[in-house]
């Protein structure tokens, strides 16, 4: 599999059907593998919120996202995969953390549902200093990058994700995509 020749920009010059697709969710814990194994943290989306979307295909998407504080006191609990998860509901985040950032979204088969349901996790192109489980997340999905692949190595996956990130940045620079950073949905 030669992945060295991927296009650096995807989709049409203007956002086209079925996009934009809007998503609102609280950030829920995943397996925690994104950060620890790949060094690429992801915010996991609630299953019922993802189910409402008109997104049928597994694969990688891109767009804009915004994290917001939500109501809730801080607590720590142990999740299904035996990991202690500290919920902050977005308390303790810096002002820049609440800006609208570029994102890449992976849609795959959810292991919690015996791989019978598709679910989404979002990597935000911004460095957060703290975790933000329980915070609210708004996402506007503007296009599709590539299908989900099976990788022979972790390194190959990481390399493709880094290409996804570069492709998303480049694709979002176009005027028709850039304007969604200031969408009413984020106000
Ligand atoms: N997992 C795959 O098995 N195949 C993929 O093609 C794939 N692409 C991804 C692209 C992005 C941008 C992200 C954030 C994740 C991707 N993943 C993929 C999921 C990755 O394996 C997952 O984030 C970690 O296993 C942590 O749950
Ligand atoms: Mg995650």
Chain segment 32-83, per-residue pLDDT in tens? 777 778 899 999 999 999 999 989 899 999 999 999 998 877 888 887 777 8
Average pLDDT over residues 111-118: 85
Confidence of residue 85 (pLDDT cuts 50, 70, 90): confident
12 flagged as catalytic: no
Q: Which residues line ligand 1 (CB under 6 A)?
A: 30-31, 33-34, 38, 40, 42, 60, 104, 106, 108, 121, 123, 148-149, 157, 161, 164
Identify the nearest ligand to the CA of 36 by its number: 1
Q: Please tell me the pTM assigned to this model.
A: 0.94
Q: What is the mean pLDDT of the chain?
A: 92
Residue 1 reports pLDDT greater than 80: no
Active-site residue, from 46, 121, 173, 187: 121
| Residue of the CA atom closest to atom 3 of ligand 1 | 150
- Helix (H) / strand (E) containing 122: strand 118-124
Report the C-alpha gap between 172 and 183 in whole angstroms: 14
Burial readout 81-92 (b: 16 or more C-beta within 10 A, e: otherwise) = eeeebebbbbee
Report the C-alpha gap between 178 and 100 in whole angstroms: 11
| Residue of the CA atom closest to atom 15 of ligand 1 | 106
Identify the nearest ligand to the CA of 123 by its number: 1
Find the angle CA(1)-CA(39)-CA(165) to the nearest 5 degrees: 60
């Amino acid at each position: 599999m030669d992945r060295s020749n991927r296009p650096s920009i995807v989709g049409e010059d203007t956002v086209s059907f079925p996009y934009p697709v809007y998503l609102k969710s609280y950030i829920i814990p995943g397996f925690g593998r994104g950060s620890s194994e790949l060094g690429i943290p992801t915010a996991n989306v609630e299953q019922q919120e993802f189910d409402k979307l008109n997104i049928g295909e597994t694969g990688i998407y891109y767009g804009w996202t915004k994290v917001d504080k939500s109501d809730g006191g801080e607590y720590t609990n142990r999740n299904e995969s035996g990991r202690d998860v500290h919920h902050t509901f977005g308390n303790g985040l810096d002002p820049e953390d609440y800006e609208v950032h570029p994102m890449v979204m992976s849609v795959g088969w959810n292991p919690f549902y015996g791989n019978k349901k598709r679910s989404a996790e979002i990597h935000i192109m911004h460095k957060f200093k703290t975790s933000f489980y329980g915070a609210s997340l708004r996402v506007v999905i503007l296009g599709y990058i590539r299908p989900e692949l099976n990788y022979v190595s972790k390194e190959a996956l990481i390399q493709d994700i880094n290409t996804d990130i570069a492709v998303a940045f480049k694709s979002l620079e176009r005027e028709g995509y850039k304007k969604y950073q200031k969408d009413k949905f984020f106000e």
